[in-house]
């Protein structure tokens, strides 16, 4: 806890006067012990695109970064290992941006980056040139992506002081004016709305903030209720609503929350930020349907390799919609004259006779309870043997015997085997070549017609051929 106590003392004095504490990594400043993070694995999201399941949606990635006074607090979550000090929230946020940048760079083989822009704006005072009448700083205008430029812009967010006026940093209008800021001076800075004005294509706006509603903010609001709203919810929501009205479905908003999990907070009860909850979804809750999801993460999640990968997938990509359903009634894959919806035997040989269900039927009917081929079917089987020999070099065919239900299941199974054997034996004596016929009895288990009528039972007493290979 190298800064929180000092932050609280100075912040208590300054928050009521319209000022706030400052933190910088400048060696000349009294907070000069720069934190060094240990290297971590950063994955690529290219595999999502190469899988054919996702497509790049975002043409622009713009970050709104929390550089308000609460960013000087120690980051009490997990996932950001350092070589020396425990990080502040400001330092952890910068590390998140560096990892986002590395993910972009690692994914360059699949992403379309030739017209992809990035930009960074902070709220509070991110620059270290003292206090003034601004509530936001631009660190990188929306420009064509460059890994070096993005990293350099990230490191210019060197200080944290001022209030968390996110709404004013998003869009400047009467609805997002802060009475206290107006008393202290006119805000001459621009906003995210101005930054995005010249962009083309889809925009992913990432808001990184602790959204802290700590004790100091609530104490000040209690003393100046006509000026300060500790939650700032209505202004923030109105600002996002205004941006959505302007950019429509082009705009997708994502949150990275710098608070810690309940488990992390339990280790240090002095942490003032609220637990991650649905309240923090207010910036991204109304994303258009084409935005990737989920839209809200906490810092601990994106500290993990798979968490950062999942976040960047959501922020930059959209899943491809499923292929439209094909009307099977309009297809006949095996060209047997029976559409695929009704075809119960979808691999019959083109040109062979089939029944109304698309199954290759040898129109050999058997008398009830008999397995002997009648002479009237010899010519049909002879022709079948000639056709198979002449047109097909090597087939494995299952000769299926079937019955009606006029006897027991056991009796019909034996009867169906006799019928299958009779047809297979007859054909084998007349086929020439390596064709293989496999007789198989199915008994009464596979009727193709009703067994309630004589005509239906006659249709079920059949031999059916199915190509296995």
CATH number at residue 34: 3.40.50.410
For residue 62, what is the enclosing H or E element?
Answer: strand 60-67
Same-domain pairing of 135 and 86: yes
Q: What's residue 40's pLDDT?
A: 92
Q: What's residue 220's pLDDT?
A: 53
Q: Which residues of the chain have pLDDT under 70?
A: 1-33, 130-134, 173-189, 211-234, 260-282, 363, 469
Residue 198 dihedral angles phi and psi, to the nearest 5°: -95, 0
Same-domain pairing of 307 and 436: no
Q: What's residue 252's pLDDT?
A: 96
Same-domain pairing of 174 and 249: yes
Yes or no: say if 422 and 373 are a contact pair by the CB < 8 Å rule: yes
Q: What's residue 225's pLDDT?
A: 52
Same-domain pairing of 242 and 172: yes
- Residue 413 tokens read as 């199974």
State the Cα–Cα distance between residues 132 and 149, nearest whole angstrom.
Answer: 27
Listing DSSP states for 410-465 in one string gives HHHHHHHHHHHHHHHHHHHTT--SS-EEEEEE-TTSS-SS-SSSHHHHHHHS-EEE
Q: What's residue 118's pLDDT?
A: 98
Q: What angle do CA 238, 244, 247 make, to 5 degrees?
A: 145
Which of 290, 319, 348 is the C-terminal boundary of a domain?
A: 319
Same-domain pairing of 185 and 313: yes
Same-domain pairing of 366 and 308: no
pLDDT tens digit sequence for 208-260: 988 644 444 455 555 555 444 444 456 777 888 899 999 999 999 999 988 75
Same-domain pairing of 281 and 375: no
Residues spanned by the domain of 380: 359-467
The DSSP code for 149 is: H
Same-domain pairing of 110 and 249: yes
CATH code of 456's domain: 3.30.1330.60
pTM for the model stands at: 0.62
Q: How many structural domains compose the chain? A: 2
Q: What's residue 165's pLDDT?
A: 81
Which of 267, 297, 319 is the C-terminal boundary of a domain?
A: 319
Yes or no: say if 57 and 292 are a contact pair by the CB < 8 Å rule: yes
Same-domain pairing of 200 and 55: yes
Same-domain pairing of 57 and 160: yes
Same-domain pairing of 304 and 161: yes
Say if residue 405 is exposed, middle or buried (CB neighbours under 10 Å; 0-12, 13-18, 19+).
middle
Same-domain pairing of 374 and 312: no
In the numeric block, the tokens 């240990």 are attached to 38
């Amino acid at each position: 806890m190298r800064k929180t106590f000092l932050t609280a003392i100075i912040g208590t004095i300054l928050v009521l006067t319209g000022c706030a504490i400052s933190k910088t990594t400048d060696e000349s400043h009294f907070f000069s012990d720069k934190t060094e993070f240990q290297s971590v694995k950063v994955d690529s999201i290219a595999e999502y695109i190469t899988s054919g399941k996702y497509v790049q949606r975002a043409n622009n990635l713009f970050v709104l970064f929390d550089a308000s006074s609460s960013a000087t607090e120690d980051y009490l979550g997990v996932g950001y290992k350092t070589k020396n000090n425990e990080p502040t929230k400001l330092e952890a946020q910068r590390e998140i941006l560096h990892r986002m940048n590395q993910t972009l760079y690692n994914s360059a083989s699949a992403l379309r980056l030739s017209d992809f822009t990035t930009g960074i704006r902070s709220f509070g005072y991110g620059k270290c040139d003292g206090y003034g009448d601004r509530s936001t700083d631009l660190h990188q205008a929306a420009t064509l992506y460059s890994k070096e430029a993005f990293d350099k812009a990230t490191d210019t967010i060197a200080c944290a002081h001022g209030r968390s006026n996110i709404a004013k940093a998003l869009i400047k209008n009467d609805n997002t004016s802060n009475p206290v800021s107006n008393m202290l001076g006119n805000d001459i800075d621009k906003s995210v709305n101005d930054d995005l004005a010249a962009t083309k294509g889809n925009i992913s706006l990432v808001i990184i903030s602790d959204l802290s509603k700590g004790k100091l903010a609530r104490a000040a609001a209690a003393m100046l209720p006509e000026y300060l709203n500790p939650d700032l919810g209505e202004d923030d929501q109105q600002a996002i609503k205004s941006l959505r009205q302007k950019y429509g479905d082009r705009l997708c908003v994502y949150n990275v929350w710098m608070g810690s999990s309940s488990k992390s907070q339990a280790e240090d009860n002095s942490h003032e930020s609220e637990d991650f909850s649905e309240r923090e979804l207010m910036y991204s809750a109304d994303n258009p349907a084409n935005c990737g999801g989920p839209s809200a993460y906490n810092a601990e999640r994106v500290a993990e390799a798979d968490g950062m990968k999942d976040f960047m997938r959501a922020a930059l990509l959209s899943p491809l919609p499923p292929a439209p359903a094909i009307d099977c009634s309009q297809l006949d894959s095996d060209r047997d004259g029976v559409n695929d919806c009704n075809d119960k035997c979808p691999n019959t040989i083109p040109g062979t006779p089939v029944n109304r269900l698309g199954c290759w039927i040898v129109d050999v009917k058997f008398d009830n309870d008999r397995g002997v081929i009648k002479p009237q079917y010899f010519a049909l089987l002879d022709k079948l043997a000639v056709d198979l020999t002449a047109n097909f070099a090597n087939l494995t065919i299952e000769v299926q015997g079937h019955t009606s239900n006029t006897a027991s299941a056991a009796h019909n199974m034996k009867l169906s085997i006799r019928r299958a054997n009779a047809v297979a034996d007859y054909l084998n004596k007349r086929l020439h070549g390596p064709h293989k016929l496999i007789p198989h009895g199915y008994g009464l288990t596979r009727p193709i017609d009703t067994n309630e009528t004589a005509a239906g039972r006659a249709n079920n007493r059949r031999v059916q051929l199915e190509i296995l290979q």
